[in-house]
Chain A
């Protein structure tokens, strides 16, 4: 049963510390997304990649967040320095584009990384 894998599942850290979240997309998927869920904002897109190239990171605070795909099986989201307002659940999702069909827009989510910054 193919699934998106995220680590860590839970992280509590102190303000100012660096946090790195990792994601292993479903094998064969060429598009990877980072979403953040907060009570106030719901699910918001932070960044996404296709074939490891960043396509859009306009939803991500540039000064402290960075997202990369070192290879096709690993995506990372880094926060440095972390702040209490970064406390949220961070979801990674992956998908594969269908052949010129809207149905290719279905993406599959991991279980999330629950981040608490104190």
Chain B
């Protein structure tokens, strides 16, 4: 049972355009969501996060949107740059007190390619 799904295995975008990566989840207990970026032969690096009390969080070129009713979140990258080419993982966590901390459930990842 995959609780976090990234249905697009890959996305190709032209430099300067917007990249939109999508993520759906099924567990209504999830209340904290994160995006990680991963380059080949490296570990995932934290990119941006959002709490369920918000519907939008912005950090520079990166914005994450959360639609709780649809159990859907998306990551927007504007403008996209070739250096953004990587695998992007969506992750979710249920902050139900101490034992759940950091127990992130990850999606399968989306390979983003930004063409010059």
Q: Is residue B111 within 8 Å, beta carbon to beta carbon, of the partner chain?
A: no
Within A87-118, which residues are at the interface with B (CB < 8 Å)? 91, 93, 95, 97, 102-112
| Chain B residues near A102 (CB-CB < 8 A) | 31-32, 51-52, 93, 95
Cβ of A50 and Cβ of B101 under 8 Å apart? yes
A48 is contacted by which of B41, B91, B95, B102 (Cβ under 8 Å)?
B102
Q: Is residue A43 within 8 Å, beta carbon to beta carbon, of the partner chain?
A: yes
Give the one of A31, A43, A48, A112 with max B CB within 10 A: A43
Q: Mark B4-20, 1 if CB is under 8 A from A, else 0.
A: 00000000000000000
Cβ of B93 and Cβ of A4 under 8 Å apart? no
Q: Is residue A45 within 8 Å, beta carbon to beta carbon, of the partner chain?
A: yes
Known: A31-B102, A42-B106, A48-B102. A111 touches B93 (CB 8 A): no
| Chain A residues near B99 (CB-CB < 8 A) | 55-56
Cβ of B93 and Cβ of A110 under 8 Å apart? no
Cβ of B43 and Cβ of A112 under 8 Å apart? yes
| Chain B residues near A50 (CB-CB < 8 A) | 98, 101
Q: Is residue B103 within 8 Å, beta carbon to beta carbon, of the partner chain?
A: yes
Q: Mark A8-41, 1 if CB is under 8 A from B, else 0.
A: 0000000000000000000000010101000000
Known: A55-B99, A102-B95, A106-B49. A4 touches B108 (CB 8 A): no
Cβ of A48 and Cβ of B44 under 8 Å apart? no
| Chain B residues near A43 (CB-CB < 8 A) | 44, 89, 91, 106, 109
In the assembled complex, the CB of B29 is this many whole angstroms from the nearest CB of chain A, namely 12
In the assembled complex, the CB of B45 is this many whole angstroms from the nearest CB of chain A, namely 7
Residue of A nearest to B45 (CB): A109
In the assembled complex, the CB of A23 is this many whole angstroms from the nearest CB of chain B, namely 11
Cβ of A111 and Cβ of B102 under 8 Å apart? no
Q: Is residue B34 within 8 Å, beta carbon to beta carbon, of the partner chain?
A: yes
Cβ of B104 and Cβ of A105 under 8 Å apart? yes
In the assembled complex, the CB of A65 is this many whole angstroms from the nearest CB of chain B, namely 18
In the assembled complex, the CB of B38 is this many whole angstroms from the nearest CB of chain A, namely 8
In the assembled complex, the CB of A109 is this many whole angstroms from the nearest CB of chain B, namely 3
Known: A106-B46, A109-B44. A42 touches B107 (CB 8 A): yes
Q: Is residue B59 within 8 Å, beta carbon to beta carbon, of the partner chain?
A: no
| Chain A residues near B46 (CB-CB < 8 A) | 106-108
